[in-house]
Amino acid sequence: MVTPTTPKQSFWRRPWVAPMFVVMAAFLAFSLPPYLTGGSRVAIRENAPWHQPSLVGHIGFGTIALICCGFQVWPWFRAKYPAVHRRLGRVYVFAGVLPTALLGIVASLTSVVGIVGRIGNTTLCVVWLLVTYRGYKSARRRQFGDHRRWMIRSFALCTSIVVNRLWIGIMLGALMPFLELEYDGDMDRLILDAAGASIWLSWVVNLLIAEWWLERGKGKARAKRGAVARKETEVEAAV
């Protein structure tokens, strides 16, 4: 008697994987080059000598985190190479999230994005640390269901920097009609408000989407259990 097996899903059966890596690669190709030559894509606070070093370190370790998290959420890669998944997970936590978030807090407190943006970035770094810690502890305790849920949240926070660029464009477009009425033609003030709003929107919206996704999965699981229970009841009644 042959025991039936569940066919493994091929790597190309996940239509979101390729676009995810393309977007990540495009983001890194656009964002990294200035920092490799001592430059920056954001304004540097001249009276805070630690601002640029902390920002460069934040970007460098953040690159490690972004690359690792892409592979960590790829189902085919995770199933095909479980040992690599575990090692990459440690790299993501200790060489990615931990230094990126700590340096991000330093860089945020001295940034020139205004108080709203500073609080938004600092809060993001703290929440990212806490969420990732919960995910790591869950894996250590072999609570893999909890581990998956916490790391989906961590992924959402990690990739918020990518969608931040989209939110900046949206906020600039939304505020431009008010340039003369609310800002007296001061484009710098408008950009500052757009940047502050986009910082909050990028990670809060990402986290809300992650929570929706997790709740959606719970709903499907409950529906499946309910269907199985009903079928068992029908079989017992027939007997």
Residue 187, helix vs strand vs coil: helix
220 contacts 177 by C-beta, under 8 angstroms: no
Average pLDDT over residues 35-47: 85
What the block records as the tokens of 128 is 């990212």
Task: Give the C-alpha separation, 214 to 221, whole Å.
Answer: 11
Nearest-5° Cα angle at 154, 205 to 143: 130
User: 3-state class of 226 per DSSP?
Assistant: helix
The pTM of this model reads 0.83
- CA distances, 53 to each of 39, 88, 126, 161 (Å): 11, 26, 20, 19
Q: What is the average pLDDT score of the chain?
A: 87
The more confidently predicted of residues 187 and 36 is 187
Per-residue pLDDT of 86-116, as tens digits, reads 999 999 999 999 999 999 999 999 898 899 9
189 CB-near residues (< 8 Å, 6+ apart):
183
Residues 6+ apart with CB under 8 A from 54: 103, 104, 106, 107, 110
Give me the pLDDT at residue 207, please: 98
- pLDDT tier, 213 (very low <50, low <70, confident <90, very high otherwise): very high
